[in-house]
């Protein structure tokens, strides 16, 4: 049974709907853009709207691997830090959005089925407290915050889009 066939209630519904809303803001921000516009760097950084879609999809996918199997499962394929926030040859906005939709669908399935209280030790990294663990719930809250930070009103995506053509997600 898929999430679309299942009726989520309570906390699971709240988490799914909130994450979905912020994903929607991010997708809305890139509506109507060409691949060239989505790849345009409108600030001094390497960040572009297509790269932002790619980054959020990769981040969501990695954290959900952590939610399922812990730090080892999070590793997967090595991150391409140099190209993680930009579009590279062969990437299209449509392709990045399709990939993001696949990741989102998988996450929604996991929200419906995982034990939200299950917990795993965080990977060793200077930005995590040594020995700390996160529950699946905490991972989902982190993904909501991460997605909201990049999307929505005055988020990274809005700033980049406004520099392209003056459009904003809200207003």
pLDDT at 27 over 90: yes
Q: What is the CA radius of gyration of the chain?
A: 16
Contact call for residues 87 and 50 (beta carbons, < 8 A): yes
**Alpha-carbon gap, residue 47 to 132, rounded angstroms:** 31
Query: 135 burial class (0-12, 13-18, 19+ CB within 10 angstroms)?
Result: middle
Among positive and negative, which fits the CA dihedral 147, 98, 38, 162?
A: negative
Residue 171, in any domain of the structure = no
Q: What are phi and psi of 168, to 5 degrees?
A: -135, 155
Percent over 90 (pLDDT), the chain: 68
Question: What's the whole-number mean pLDDT along residues 29-37?
Answer: 94
What pLDDT was estimated at residue 152? 62
Residue 170, in any domain of the structure = no
Domain count, the chain: 1
- Widest CA span in the chain: 46
Q: Which of 33, 15, 61 is nearest to 42 (CA)?
A: 33
Residue 95, in any domain of the structure = yes
CATH number, domain containing residue 140:
1.20.120.450
Q: In terms of pLDDT, which residue wins out, 61 or 9?
A: 61
What pLDDT was estimated at residue 22? 94
pLDDT at 9 over 90: no
Residue 144, in any domain of the structure = yes
Q: Which of 53, 70, 40, 57 is nearest to 134 (CA)?
A: 70
Residue 130, in any domain of the structure = yes
**Alpha-carbon gap, residue 125 to 122, rounded angstroms:** 8
Which residues constitute the domain of residue 159? 3-165
Residue 134, in any domain of the structure = yes
Percent over 70 (pLDDT), the chain: 90
pLDDT at 170 over 80: no
Residue 81, in any domain of the structure = yes
pLDDT at 3 over 80: no
Question: CA 134 from chain center: how many Å?
Answer: 18
What pLDDT was estimated at residue 138? 98
Question: What's the whole-number mean pLDDT along residues 70-92?
Answer: 87
Residue 78 is given by DSSP the state: P
């Amino acid at each position: 049974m898929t999430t679309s066939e299942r009726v989520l209630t309570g906390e699971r519904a709240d988490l799914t709907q909130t994450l979905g809303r912020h994903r929607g803001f991010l997708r809305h921000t890139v509506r109507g853009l060409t691949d060239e516009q989505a790849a345009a760097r409108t600030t001094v950084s390497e960040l572009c709207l297509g790269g932002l879609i790619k980054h959020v999809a990769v981040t969501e996918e990695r954290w959900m691997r952590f939610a399922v199997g812990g730090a080892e499962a999070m590793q997967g394929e090595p991150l391409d830090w140099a190209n993680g926030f930009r579009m590279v040859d062969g990437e299209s906005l449509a392709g990045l959005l399709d990939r993001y939709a696949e990741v989102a669908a998988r996450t929604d399935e996991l929200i419906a089925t995982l034990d939200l209280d299950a917990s795993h030790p965080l990977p060793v990294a200077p930005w995590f407290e040594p020995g700390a663990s996160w529950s699946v719930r905490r991972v989902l809250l982190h993904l909501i915050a991460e997605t909201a930070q990049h999307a929505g009103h005055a988020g990274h995506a809005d700033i980049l889009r406004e520099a392209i053509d003056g459009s904003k997600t809200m207003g």
